[in-house]
């Protein structure tokens, strides 16, 4: 019985694959517009570059939403990599660096779910995913995009990354998943069934 349960928890259904791909593709397109925002706010953050870290959490959303919905190994990193790859292919401004970011961001969120063996999909787990993704992404950006930044500013940026990862990825991702579940769109998934059970209770 334990083996069957474990296998069922990790085996992908067709609908799981479709949802992971759909989440990744939708965010990949949306990220083109979000990336343009960085250009628009450039003059505002020129004097204090660490402030850009406050926007970071949105980039991790595909991973946390896919992880909360599908709840299987690889869902979070898969959705994030699809989003990053599509953004790059559509002309995203950071080129191959986008895929590196996708791997790190998705990996951070994936690790949070893996630590619970994909059994828990709560706000703390989502927030932890956002924080881990932010930490890994900060390391990459510190050396790839901001090598000239002082360590004082870099540490401030890390703080902004962590706050943004916790709120704009973890808390927002969990709230968005609950909102989707409330529409009935997630009924084939545990997220939808849990909300239905809570409503009946």
CA distance 133 to 166: 9
pLDDT, average across residues 145-170: 96
CA distance 169 to 165: 5
Inform me whether the pLDDT recorded for 200 exceeds 60.
no
Predicted TM-score of the model (pTM): 0.90
What is the DSSP track for 52-65?
Answer: GGGGGGGGGHHHHH
Parse the chain into domains and list their residue ranges. Answer: 2-188
How high is the mean pLDDT of the chain?
90
Inform me whether the pLDDT recorded for 172 exceeds 70.
yes
* Torsion-angle region of 74 (φ positive above 0: left; ψ -120 to 50: alpha; else: beta): left
Provide the pLDDT for residue 84. 97
Inform me whether the pLDDT recorded for 109 exceeds 60.
yes
Architecture of domain 2-188: Orthogonal Bundle (1.10)
Query: What 3-state class would DSSP assign to 97?
Result: helix
Q: Give the count of alpha carbons within 13 A of 4, CB side only.
A: 1
Q: At 3, is the pLDDT very low, low, confident or very high (cuts 50, 70, 90)?
A: very low
Lowest mean pLDDT among 8-17, 63-72, 191-200: 191-200
Q: At 36, is the pLDDT very low, low, confident or very high (cuts 50, 70, 90)?
A: confident
Select from 3, 15, 58 the least CA-distant residue to 192: 15
Inform me whether the pLDDT recorded for 115 exceeds 50.
yes
Q: At 10, is the pLDDT very low, low, confident or very high (cuts 50, 70, 90)?
A: confident
CB neighbourhood size of 2 (10 A): 6
Provide the pLDDT for residue 6. 58
Select from 189, 83, 186 the least CA-distant residue to 133: 83
């Amino acid at each position: 019985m334990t083996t069957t349960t474990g296998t069922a928890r990790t085996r992908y259904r067709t609908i799981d694959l479709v949802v992971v791909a759909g989440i990744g593709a939708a965010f990949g397109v949306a990220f083109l517009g979000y990336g343009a925002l960085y250009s628009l706010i450039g003059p505002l953050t020129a004097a204090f570059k660490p402030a850009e870290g406050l926007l970071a959490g949105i980039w991790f959303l595909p991973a946390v939403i896919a992880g909360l919905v599908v709840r299987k190994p690889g869902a979070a990193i898969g959705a994030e990599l699809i989003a990053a790859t599509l953004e790059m292919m559509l002309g995203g401004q950071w080129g191959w660096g986008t895929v590196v970011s996708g791997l790190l961001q998705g990996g951070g969120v994936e690790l949070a779910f893996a630590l619970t063996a994909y059994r828990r999909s709560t706000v703390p787990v989502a927030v932890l995913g956002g924080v881990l993704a932010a930490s890994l992404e900060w390391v990459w950006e510190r050396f790839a995009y901001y090598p000239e930044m002082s360590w004082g500013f870099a540490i401030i940026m890390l703080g902004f990354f962590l706050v943004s990862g916790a709120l704009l990825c973890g808390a927002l991702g969990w709230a968005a998943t609950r909102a989707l579940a409330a529409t009935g769109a997630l009924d084939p998934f545990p997220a939808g069934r849990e909300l239905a059970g809570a409503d009946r209770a």
